Structure 1
Amino acid sequence: MDNYLTKTSETERPEFKIPDFIENMGPEQIHERMMASLPEDIDKMPGGFPFDYTMPTAAIASELVHYHLVRGLMAAFPEYAWGDWLDLHAKQAHLSRKPANKAAGSLTFIGKPGTVIPKGSMFCTAATAAGSSIDFLTDEEVVIEEEGRATAAITAFEAGKKGNVSQGTIVLAVRPISGLTSVTNLEAVTGGAEEETDDALYRRIQMEHSMQSFSYIGNDNDYIRWAKEVPGVGDCIVMPAWNGPGTVKLVLVDQNGEPANEKIIQDVYSHIVSEEDRSKRLLPTACSQLTVTAAAGLSISYICTGLIYDKDTTTLEQAAAEFERAVQQVYSEARESGTLIYNKVRSLITDLPGIVDFETFLINGEEKNIVLSKEEYPVTETVSFR
Structure 2
Amino acid sequence: MYEDQTYEALLERMLDRVPQGLDKREGSIIYDALAPAAAELAQMYIELDVNHNLVFADTAAGEYLERSIAWSGIRRRPASQAQLQGSFYREDGTLLELPVGSRFSLELMNYTAVEKLSPGIYRLQSEQSGAIGNRYFGALLPVNYIAGLARGEITALLIPGEDAESDEALRQRYYASARRPATSGNKYHYMEWAVQVEGVGGARVFPLWNGPKTVKVVVVDAAKLPASALLVSKVQQYIDPLPGRGEGQAPVGAVVTVAAAAGKNIPITAKVILDPGYTLQQVQEQFKQTLEKYRKEQALNAAYVSHSVLGALLLAVEGVLDYRELQLGGVAGNVTLTEEEVPLFGSVVLEV
TM-score after normalising by structure 1: 0.76
2:186 aligns with one of 218, 226, 230: 218
Whether contact under 8 Å (1:103, 1:164) holds in the other structure is yes
Relative distance call for 1:94 and 1:270 in structure 2 (3 A) is farther
1:137 aligns with one of 98, 107, 112: 112
1:359 aligns with 2:328: no
Where does residue 171 of structure 1 map in the other structure? Answer: 140
Deviations 1:140-197 (CA, angstroms, capped at 9, x unpaired) = 36896xxxxx111111111111111365x14322222111111123334541111111
Q: Which amino acid aligns with 1:39?
A: P
Where does residue 15 of structure 1 map in the other structure? Answer: none
Secondary structure of 2:224's aligned partner: coil
1:234 aligns with one of 190, 193, 201: 201
Relative distance call for 1:294 and 1:306 in structure 2 (3 A) is same
Deviations 1:34-82 (CA, angstroms, capped at 9, x unpaired) = 112222243211122322232232222222223x222223222211211
Q: Measure the CA separation in 2 of the matches of 1:261 and 1:306.
A: 40
1:201 aligns with one of 164, 167, 170: 170
Whether contact under 8 Å (1:307, 1:385) holds in the other structure is no
1:60 aligns with 2:40: yes
Q: Measure the CA separation in 2 of the matches of 1:368 and 1:217.
A: 39
Residue pairs, 1:262-273, within 5 angstroms? 262-273=229-240
Mean Cα deviation higher: 169-178 or 258-267: 258-267
Q: Which has the higher strand share?
A: 2
Deviation at 1:135, TM superposition (A): 1.6
Relative distance call for 1:357 and 1:79 in structure 2 (3 A) is farther
Whether contact under 8 Å (2:240, 2:246) holds in the other structure is no
Secondary structure of 2:160's aligned partner: coil
Relative distance call for 1:233 and 1:143 in structure 2 (3 A) is closer
Q: Measure the CA separation in 1 of the matches of 2:50 and 2:68.
A: 15
1:342 aligns with 2:342: no
Q: Measure the CA separation in 2 of the matches of 1:328 and 1:101.
A: 22
Mean Cα deviation higher: 97-106 or 55-64: 55-64
Q: Measure the CA separation in 2 of the matches of 1:257 and 1:179.
A: 39
Secondary structure of 1:264's aligned partner: helix
Deviations 1:310-355 (CA, angstroms, capped at 9, x unpaired) = 99xxx858844762464145414xx344211222333345667x67
Deviation at 1:252, TM superposition (A): 1.3
Q: Measure the CA separation in 2 of the matches of 1:142 and 1:328.
A: 31
Whether contact under 8 Å (1:100, 1:231) holds in the other structure is no
2:105 aligns with one of 124, 135, 138: 124
Secondary structure of 2:33's aligned partner: helix
Mean Cα deviation higher: 156-165 or 321-330: 321-330
Secondary structure of 1:103's aligned partner: strand
Whether contact under 8 Å (1:123, 1:170) holds in the other structure is no
Whether contact under 8 Å (1:27, 1:61) holds in the other structure is yes
Unaligned runs of 5+ in 2: none
1:245 aligns with 2:212: yes
Secondary structure of 1:53's aligned partner: helix
Whether contact under 8 Å (2:273, 2:320) holds in the other structure is no
Q: Which amino acid aligns with 1:155?
A: Q
TM-score after normalising by structure 2: 0.83
2:65 aligns with one of 69, 74, 86: 86
Where does residue 293 of structure 1 map in the other structure? Answer: 259
Mean Cα deviation higher: 300-309 or 339-348: 300-309
Whether contact under 8 Å (1:164, 1:192) holds in the other structure is yes
Relative distance call for 1:265 and 1:351 in structure 2 (3 A) is same
Percent identity (aligned): 25
CA RMSD, 1 decimal = 3.3
How many residue pairs are counted as aligned between the two chains?
Answer: 342
Q: Measure the CA separation in 1 of the matches of 2:348 and 2:95.
A: 46
Whether contact under 8 Å (1:272, 1:281) holds in the other structure is yes
Deviation at 1:245, TM superposition (A): 2.5
Where does residue 342 of structure 2 map in the other structure? Answer: 377
Whether contact under 8 Å (2:275, 2:320) holds in the other structure is yes
